């Protein structure tokens, strides 16, 4: 079990802390499977979903702002271009598949230097404003000390 220690002034707001606690488990599992740092998954999800408070997250279980193609979708009266997921976990899995389809993935797979991932994702066109997005993501990872999850080694049965 990973214990997340929060230092005085660096303590996240309750909602962000709860969000991190809720989704760190799936991120650690996916980190083992896809070799993408958990800090990247958590950081991007916090930014893109407002730590779970965005409409897309609440209605569509979409934590990453992933679009559903060119057609406008309708979910219970909510019209959107964003993808719907049956569960939150499927959103996290799809984000890893999204990264896996990018050219940089095979070069960075297994590299837990979050800066390299931030730069590569920003360059790949993930955000409409890559410069600002990079700054926001780096600040989020540092503020909430998300790299603590990157050092976690999953306990696999022998």
The 10s digit of each residue's pLDDT in 30-45 is 999 999 999 999 999 9
Is residue 52 packed enough to be buried (19+ CB in 10 Å), middle (13-18) or exposed (0-12)? middle
Q: What is the pTM of this model?
A: 0.86
**What pLDDT is recorded for position 8?**
35
Q: Does residue 112 sit within a domain?
A: yes
pLDDT score of 22: 96
Check which CATH number belongs to the domain holding 28 and give it. Answer: 1.10.530.10
Residue-number span of the structural domain to which 23 is assigned: 9-53+87-147
pLDDT at 157: 40
Residues of the chain with pLDDT below 50 are 1-12, 155-158
Structural domains counted in the chain:
1
Positive/negative CA dihedral, 8, 53, 21, 92: negative
* Whole-angstrom distance, CA of residue 34 vs CA of residue 80: 29
pLDDT of residue 156: 43
């Amino acid at each position: 079990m990973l214990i997340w220690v929060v230092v005085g002034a660096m303590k996240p707001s309750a909602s962000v802390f709860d969000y991190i606690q809720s989704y760190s488990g799936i991120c650690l599992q996916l980190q083992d499977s896809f070799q993408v740092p958990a800090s990247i998954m958590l950081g991007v999800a916090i930014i893109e979903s407002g730590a779970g408070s965005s409409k897309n997250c609440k209605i569509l279980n979409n934590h990453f702002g992933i679009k559903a193609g060119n057609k406008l979708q309708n979910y219970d009266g909510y019209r959107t271009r964003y993808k719907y997921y049956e569960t939150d976990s499927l959103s996290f899995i799809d984000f890893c598949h999204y990264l896996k389809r990018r050219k940089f993935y095979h070069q960075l797979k297994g590299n837990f230097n979050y800066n390299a991932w931030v730069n590569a994702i920003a360059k790949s066109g993930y955000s409409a404003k890559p410069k600002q997005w990079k700054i926001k993501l780096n600040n989020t990872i540092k503020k909430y000390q998300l790299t603590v999850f990157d050092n976690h080694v999953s306990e696999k049965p022998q």
